[in-house]
Amino acid sequence: MSTPNKPLIQIKDVVIGIPHKRRPTLIIVNNANFDINYGEMVGIVGESGSGKTMICRTMIGTLERRGGKILSGDVVFEGQSLATASESDWKKLRGKSIGYVPQSALAGPNPVLTIEAQLAEALRNTGDTKDIKARSKELLDLVKIRRVDTVMKQYPYQLSGGMRQRVMIACALATSPKLLIADEPTTGLDVTVQSQIMDLLKEIRSSMGTAIVLISHDLALIDEVCDRVVVMHAGATVEVGSVKDLEKPRHPYTIALNSSRIDIAEPGSELVTIKGSAPSVGEWNPGCRFADRCSIVQSDCRIGDHPALIGGSGTHQTACIHTELLERI
């Protein structure tokens, strides 16, 4: 970690919407706010539909392909504003300074390309076209694939899910990115494979100094591998803090999420569930979007805008305006 505690990428009050010809623009993320420092491993947790993947897309510039748009706020990567970046600006960043490992390992690699061709494509992106074969092999070594020569000639369907995900990580690492975004990289993979992939990410972080964003809904997993955690609910960041901070969560949503964990529950005991379901995208009431599901909701929680994060960047931040009542939960 060359320059710790210095932000590599900053998500600043980002509002993401999907414009529509006839209907008003659908706001899908509102109040997203957090930094990721050089060499840091940050987890983003939240339910499906909380905006985790959308935030990712702002960091790799694929938001507009999906019809999304940053309406206000900014994403700043090493001092460069990404909200207004053009496609040609993105071409210099995506797959170069910023790597991406998609969610679905099984569908990730191109099915009609051999692993060799796949890696070669990623490597040519660096602009350096020398020794591509040798460098491909190095990459496969890096992600701990054995029988490298055989695997190079194989097609994705001949590999297991874990191997495919390793290949995807190898592709993302081809350009030695400063930031690697992994969107639920182990969903659908076995626990043993999951722990191998996590060990691999940790190793990459410490050997290459890559900052890693890990998106997951598995709190136990994030606890184990990340330095800091960003909790999202209904398109807003509701809590940001170190893994240690999050042991004593300061937002009712995080508290509820924590107590629904089965890995710490007594077998057969009643599991705590979060009341109701997350409000549908864009169908947000005024005030805090967790209010309808919150057990300590007060009348002033339902007025105005969704509360912003309280506390300075780098500290334990929460968007709850009634933290004094948290002990009642």
Give me the residues that bind another protein (CB under 8 A), please: 47-49, 160-161, 188-195, 198, 217-221, 223-225, 256-257, 260-265, 267-268, 270-274, 277
d(CA 277, CA 290): 10
d(CA 247, CA 153): 47
Least Cβ distance, residue 165 to another protein (angstroms): 13
d(CA 136, CA 117): 9
Least Cβ distance, residue 51 to another protein (angstroms): 14
Closer CB to another protein, residue 179 or residue 278? 278
Which of helix, strand or coil describes residue 96?
coil
Least Cβ distance, residue 196 to another protein (angstroms): 8
Per DSSP (E only), the strands in 57-194 are: 69-77, 80-81, 98-101, 179-183
Least Cβ distance, residue 219 to another protein (angstroms): 7
**143 Cβ contact partners less than 8 Å away, ≥ 6 residues apart:** 166, 167, 169, 170, 173, 200
Closer CB to another protein, residue 93 or residue 294? 294
Roughly what angle, to the nearest 10 degrees, separates helices 132-142 and 161-173? 120
Least Cβ distance, residue 111 to another protein (angstroms): 19
Closer CB to another protein, residue 161 or residue 314? 161
Closer CB to another protein, residue 105 or residue 240? 105
Strands 41-45, 211-215: pairing kind: parallel
Q: What Cα–Cα distance (Å) separates residue 86 from each residue in 62, 175, 315? A: 11, 21, 33
Q: Other C-beta atoms within 10 Å of 301: how many?
A: 21
Least Cβ distance, residue 203 to another protein (angstroms): 16
Do 217 and 45 contact (CB within 8 A), yes or no? yes
Closer CB to another protein, residue 96 or residue 261? 261
Least Cβ distance, residue 1 to another protein (angstroms): 23
Quick one: tokens of 215? 């998106």
Closer CB to another protein, residue 46 or residue 61? 46
Least Cβ distance, residue 249 to another protein (angstroms): 14
Do 12 and 66 contact (CB within 8 A), yes or no? no
Closer CB to another protein, residue 31 or residue 194? 194
Closer CB to another protein, residue 79 or residue 267? 267
Least Cβ distance, residue 139 to another protein (angstroms): 25
Q: What Cα–Cα distance (Å) separates residue 110 from each residue in 72, 140, 293? A: 35, 17, 42
In 3-state terms the chain splits into helix, strand, coil percentages (rounded to 5) of 35, 20, 45
Closer CB to another protein, residue 93 or residue 255? 255
Quick one: tokens of 317? 């931040």
Pseudo-torsion of CA 224, 226, 232, 238, nearest 10°?
Answer: 100
Query: Half-sphere exposure of 141 toward its Cβ, with a 13 Å CA cutoff?
Result: 7
